[in-house]
Homo-oligomer: A and B are copies of this chain.
Amino acid sequence: MGTKGDGNRQRIVDAADKLFYRRGYNQTSFQDISDATGIPRGNFYYYFKTKDEILNAVVNSRMDELSEMLNHCEAETDDARGRLLLFSNMLEVNQDKVIESGCPIGTLSSELAKNDPTLHTKSKQTFVLLRNWVKQQFDTIGLSNADELAMDLLAKLQGVAVLACAFKDVEYVKRSHQDIKNWINDKTLN
């Protein structure tokens, strides 16, 4: 807190964030992060005891950014439907990254599910955050099955992300995004 190293710590987290997304957690080495930041490998252990701790910091950082984005959606409009539509825009806004590397939340979760359960649980937190926020929007409208609708919306986004990345298809993303917006309207308009 307030010490000189905080800048370096954040630079490590930011570089790891991008690399974990683009290459995966397991395929990202300390050397990769060192190359990206200019900070020597050995120095990382001053900030983090293990690679797991870097992942922890990355997930926390992602959740902070996500919360900010969701707060922005809330600030834009009082209408829950409008908030959900804004949220769903994420898919098309990030379409290039999604086509290249998939959804950062989904792919990290899928990767870590095959390794350490502790790491998988940590990565899951981002999904929980999303699920609760989306549920809250459906709740506001007064829908009794808000949590199921939240899961359905997240599943739609994840499914599109997996196929968009597999087939590298921009048009598919655009079409699917429109389908999702139609679905949101369908569920939220009485």
Contact = CB atoms under 8 A, between A and B. Distances in A.
Interface of A: 22-24, 26-27, 100-102, 106-107, 109-111, 113-115, 124, 127, 148, 151-152, 154-160, 162-163, 165-167, 172, 175-176, 179
Kindly report how many copies of this chain are found in the complex they form together: 2
A118 to B, nearest CB: 14
Nearest to A109: B166
Contacts of A179: 152
A113 to B, nearest CB: 5
A110 B160 CA distance: 12
Contact of A159 (B100, B155, B172): B155
25 contacts: A23-B114, A24-B26, A24-B111, A24-B114, A26-B26, A26-B27, A27-B114, A101-B114, A102-B110, A106-B110, A106-B162, A106-B166, A107-B111, A109-B162, A110-B162, A113-B166, A124-B166, A154-B159, A154-B163, A156-B156, A157-B159, A158-B162, A158-B163, A159-B162, A162-B162
A100 B109 CA distance: 12
B163 A127 contact: yes
A113 B127 contact: no
Contacts of A163: 127, 151, 154-155, 158
B101 A107 contact: no
Contacts of A107: 110-111, 114
Contacts of A162: 106, 109-110, 155, 158-159, 162
A172 B160 contact: no
